[in-house]
Amino acid sequence: MIMSRIEAPRDEDDAAAAVTGTLVDRLRAGLPAGSVLTDPDVTASYAHDMASFCPAGAPAVVVLPRTVEEVQHVMRTATALRVPVVPQGARTGLSGAANATDGCVVLSLTKMDRILEINPVDRVAVVEPGVVNATLSRAVDAHGLYYPPDPSSWEMCTIGGNIGTASGGLCCVKYGVTAEYVLGLDVVLADGRLMSTGRRTAKGVAGYDLTRLFVGSEGSLGIVVRAVLALRPKPPAQLVLAAEFASASAACDAICRIMEGGHVPSLLELMDRTTVKAVNDLAHMGLPETTEALLLAAFDTTDPAADLAAVGALCEAAGATQVVPAEDAAESELLLQARRLSLTALEAVKGTTMIDDVCVPRSRLGEMLEGVDRIAAKYGLTIGVCAHAGDGNTHPTVCFDALDPDESRRARESFDEIMALGLELDGTITGEHGVGVLKKEWLAREIGPVGLEMQRAVKQVFDPLGILNPGKLF
C-alpha cells in the first residue's frame, strides 16, 4: 500500500495528504473540472461493490474520464506516481473485485457511456465501457438484434463491468456468457499506452487471443475503453414452464433428462423451497410452497409450446408433481420475475447473505444440492439455493444475522465448505461472479500452483508495477 488510510494518525495523515495533493494536481492537469472527486464523503461512496464481507479501503481520489485520452492520462499519472488504480463500472459485482484499496485512484468508467455503432449486417455493436447492459439490449432490440448476456443486475451494470467479470445470466444455457460476445477491445495499459486486441470480423486468428485474456481479468491487466460486441438476431419471445418436484434430486433428474434428450432451452432455472418461500414472503406471488424444488424451463423457438410439451413430459417422467406451462408472454414474465427476485428475497430472510457461485457439471447437480443441504444442517443455517440449473451453476445463498458473531462465523465456514464441495464434484468456485477478494484463497486451490504461477507471470507482463487493481484475484 502506497498511502495510508484517511483515518491514520496525524503525521502519517500529513504525508498522505502531500502525496494525494501531488496526485490530484497531476490528475486535474489532464482532466476537465468535475471529473476529479476528492470530497471524502463522495469518494467513500465509491469504496465497494455489492459483495458482503470483503474488505474495502478509502480511495484517495475518484476520476470520471470521458475519453480514451483522459484514461491514458490517468494511467500515465498513476504509473509515474506508483499509485494503485481500481477500475469500476456500476459496482454491482458480488466478489469485491471493484473494492477500493487505501489511497487508490478509483477509475470509474461510467461516463464513457456511448454506443458508437450498431451494425445489423455485421451483427456487431461498438460501445464504450460505461454503457449500461439494459441500455445496449434495448438499443439493439430496436434493430431486430439481441445482446444475450443478462446478469440479474442488467438494469444497472455496465458492459465494462460485464467484461471485467465475464458475466453470465439467465440466458447462458442457450446463449453462453459475456466472453462469447466480445470480439475485440481497445485497452489502455498500465503505462497509459493504447492497445487494440481482436477484431470486428466474425472470425480471426491473428496471434494470441488477448481479447479473451482481458475478459474476466477483473481490471487487473488493463482498462477496457472500447469493445466490439457480437450480436444475434432477436429470437422469438420465450415461453416458460414451471414444474414442481417433491425432491431436489427428482428435479435434477429432470434436468439431466432434458439435456440428454437434446433439448436446447433458452432458460433452465431452479429454486429450492427456501427460495420459493422467501419470494412469496417478499412479493406475495402465490408460488407453490409445498414444493421442494421449482424448475423453470423456457424455449424461444418457433414453436415453444411443442418444446414445452416435450420437456413437460420429461419432468413428469422424472416425478414432477405438477407441470404448468405458461399460456402467454405475460404469465411467462411473472415466473421469470419470481426467479429474478430470488436473491433480494433471500436477503430479506435474515438481513444479510453470502451468495456462493459454484458451478458443477450438470450431471452432478443432484449431489451438489444434497451436499448443500447437509452443510446447512451441519452449521444450523438457512441456505437457499437458486441455480442456473441447465448450466450446473448454483447460487447457494447463506442467510444470516450479521450482528450475531457466531452465526456470521458459521456463515463464512459454510460458504467455504460449499466451494470445497464444488471442487470435489469437478466444479469451479465461480461460474460467473468472479474471484475478487472474496475467493482469492480458493482460486489457488482450484487452479493449483503451476496455474497460479503462470497467471501471476501473465499479470506481471501487463502490470509490471502492480498498480492495476492490486490485491484482487491472487
Footprint of its own copies on 185-204 (CB under 8 A): 189, 193-197, 199-204
End-to-end Cα distance, the chain: 16
What angle is formed at CA 168 by the lines to CA 165 and CA 171, rounded to 5 degrees?
165
101 binds its own copies (CB under 8 A): no
Alpha-carbon gap, residue 393 to 274, rounded angstroms: 18
DSSP annotation of 406: H
Spatial CA neighbour of 275 closest among 383, 420, 436: 383
Q: For its own copies, which is the closer residue by CB, 3 or 171?
A: 171
355 binds its own copies (CB under 8 A): no
Of 28, 446, 465, 466, the one binding its own copies by CB under 8 A: 446
Of 126, 435, 438, 467, the one binding its own copies by CB under 8 A: 435
53 binds its own copies (CB under 8 A): no
155 binds its own copies (CB under 8 A): no
- Which residues does residue 271 pair with via DSSP β-bridges, in sequence order? 294, 386
- State the nearest-atom distance from the C-beta of 181 to its own copies, in Å: 11
Alpha-carbon gap, residue 340 to 348, rounded angstroms: 14
212 binds its own copies (CB under 8 A): yes
- State the nearest-atom distance from the C-beta of 417 to its own copies, in Å: 18
434 binds its own copies (CB under 8 A): yes
Of 73, 263, 277, 340, the one binding its own copies by CB under 8 A: 263
9 binds its own copies (CB under 8 A): no
Spatial CA neighbour of 392 closest among 424, 359, 439: 359
Alpha-carbon gap, residue 358 to 84, rounded angstroms: 30
What is the contact mask toward its own copies in residues 366 to 405, using x (rule: CB under 8 A)? ----------------------x-xxxx------------
Cα 319 to the center of its chain, rounded Å: 33
Per-residue DSSP letters for 180-249?
GGEEEEEEE-TTS-EEEEE-SSS---SS--HHHHHTTSTTSS-EEEEEEEE-EEPPPPPEEEEEEESSHH
Per-residue DSSP letters for 283-349?
H-----TT-SEEEEEEE-SSSHHHHHHHHHHHHHHTT-SEEEE-SSHHHHHHHHHHHHTHHHHHHHH
Spatial CA neighbour of 273 closest among 378, 375, 384, 366: 384
52 binds its own copies (CB under 8 A): no
98 binds its own copies (CB under 8 A): no
Alpha-carbon gap, residue 153 to 90, rounded angstroms: 9
Q: Measuring CA to CA, how many Å separate 188 from each of 89, 164, 179, 218, 307?
A: 16, 14, 19, 14, 46
What is the contact mask toward its own copies in residues 25 to 44, using x (rule: CB under 8 A)? --------------------
**Interaction with its own copies in 410-429: which residues (CB under 8 A)?**
426-429
284 binds its own copies (CB under 8 A): no
CA atoms within 13 A on the CB side of 285: 23
- State the nearest-atom distance from the C-beta of 9 to its own copies, in Å: 38
In the numeric block, which cell numbers belong to residue 238?
A: 420465450
Of 173, 225, 271, 386, the one binding its own copies by CB under 8 A: 173
| Total of chain residues touching its own copies, rule CB under 8 A | 89
Of 9, 142, 208, 405, the one binding its own copies by CB under 8 A: 208
Of 227, 240, 349, 473, the one binding its own copies by CB under 8 A: 473
Of 34, 207, 286, 405, the one binding its own copies by CB under 8 A: 207
Cα 203 to the center of its chain, rounded Å: 26
CA atoms within 13 A on the CB side of 269: 25
**Where does this chain touch its own copies (CB under 8 A) — which range of 5-13, 105-113, 133-141, 361-369?**
361-369
Q: For its own copies, which is the closer residue by CB, 58 or 295?
A: 295
68 binds its own copies (CB under 8 A): no
**Interaction with its own copies in 330-349: which residues (CB under 8 A)?**
none
Of 34, 41, 121, 405, the one binding its own copies by CB under 8 A: 121
**Interaction with its own copies in 298-337: which residues (CB under 8 A)?**
301-303
**Where does this chain touch its own copies (CB under 8 A) — which range of 161-169, 271-279, 286-294, 331-339?**
161-169
- State the nearest-atom distance from the C-beta of 281 to its own copies, in Å: 30
